[in-house]
Amino acid sequence: MSDFPNYSDRIKEDLEKLKQQEQQKKSQRQQEMERDRRLVQQEEEYQLLRKKQRELEREKAKLRAEIKRRQEIKAEQERIKQETFNREERRKQQIQSDRQKVRKQELQNKSSSPSYSPSSHATVEDQLKELDKLIGLNHLKDEVRQYINFLKIQKLREKQGLQPIPITLHSVFCGSPGTGKTTVARLMGQIYQQLGILKKGHLIETDRSGMVAGYVGQTAQRVDELVHSALDGVLFIDEAYTLKPVDPGNDFGQEAIDMLLKRMEDYRDRLVVIVAGYGDEMTRFVNSNPGLKSRFSRYFYFEDYTPQELLAIFENFCNQHCYSLSEAAKEVLLTRFKELYDHRDKSFGNGRLVRNMFEKTIEKQANRLVTIPDVTTYTMQQILPEDIALMVNS
């Protein structure tokens, strides 16, 4: 039995070798798998880094584009700012030029108009024609004409040796601002001159600030100086009710009233005083003092202008200063005047409102014209709907 080889041991050895080989292969496969896994991970990390790098490059590109865009915007803003500044300077120059033309025209009209300076060649009828030329005020015109006719007859009675009826020429003008009270007062002074009631018929205009001082004695001196400058003419006191506040306290307005009444008595044949203001306030003012009430018994009422009359006044301004309203602009103006008229209060501006709107309108027109390359005489005169200024009651 011993002569036969030992196969069992050999088999064991072979199995052990096979087992070792299998373990080696398994270990080798694991190493290869680990290497592959690390390679895959490295590849993924590399791709992730590449992706982040591309994203970073895109962000850099966006940032560069944003910086460029902002630089372009800033440059455009600077350009627009400079253009706006240049346009504003041209607009200011145009407005200044227009205002100088308006003032020059107003001075020419004022110096040439017979309704503002007494003339030895004008007659009472000439002055009444000037009154009739004023827009609106139809009821007032009738009152003034009746009053003047009454004065004419009194002068005729005096010439015929008949006893004239004692009359008081001092008047109260009641109405809102801008209704033509000062203009009518000037005409009245000229009519008084033509009738021989006053030698000069000129008008001196003042208000509380021109009469009342801040210290005792100065107010009387101011009033005295005003009266002397108005002798043989008309002293027109606007917003006269402010001389007698509702709560006077230590106000010097009463001193002005007392001196005025004294001088009216001293120069009753050489001075006509017209006080003006809102109707209710003027009634309170006159009734607050027996001396005032006895001297101011004649009232003239100035009604607010209607929207159509306001439009006519605006057209007068246009004609005086060489402007022309388009039909569309007239419609816009009339609509705006209707709105302002419907919502008016006692401070409704009337003629002053129209003047302010006219001045604002030509400013807007000038602002439009500076953007037009070639401005013609026609375009400089034409007022369009977009030029019409938006105003409030003031």
The pair of structure tokens assigned to 370 is 């500076």
Do 307-387 and 124-302 have the same topology in CATH?
Answer: no
For residue 214, CA distances in Å to 117, 175, 219, 221 come to 33, 29, 8, 12
Report angle CA 387, 391, 392 to the nearest 5 degrees.
170
Rounded Cα distance between 125 and 7, Å, is: 163
Q: What is the helix, strand, coil percentage profile of the chain, to 5?
A: 65, 10, 25
CA-atom Rg of the chain in angstroms? 47
Q: Where are the domains of the chain?
A: 38-112, 124-302, 307-387
Whether the CB-CB separation of 240 and 274 falls below 8 Å is answered with no
| Topology of the domain comprising 124-302 | Rossmann fold (3.40.50)
Q: Looking only at Cα atoms, what is the longest distance across the chain?
A: 195
Which runs of E-coded beta strand occur in the chain? Answer: 171-175, 203-206, 233-237, 271-277, 298-302, 324-325, 382-383
Assigned CATH class of 307-387: mainly alpha
pLDDT by residue, tens only, the chain of 394 residues: 455 566 788 888 888 888 888 888 888 888 988 888 888 888 888 898 988 999 898 888 888 888 988 888 888 888 877 877 777 777 666 666 665 665 555 444 433 333 334 455 678 888 888 888 889 888 888 888 888 998 888 888 888 888 877 778 899 999 998 899 999 999 999 999 998 889 999 999 999 989 998 777 789 999 999 999 999 999 999 999 999 887 766 678 889 999 999 999 999 889 999 999 998 999 999 998 888 988 998 899 999 999 999 999 999 999 999 999 999 999 999 999 999 999 888 778 899 999 999 999 999 999 999 988 888 889 899 999 999 987 655 4
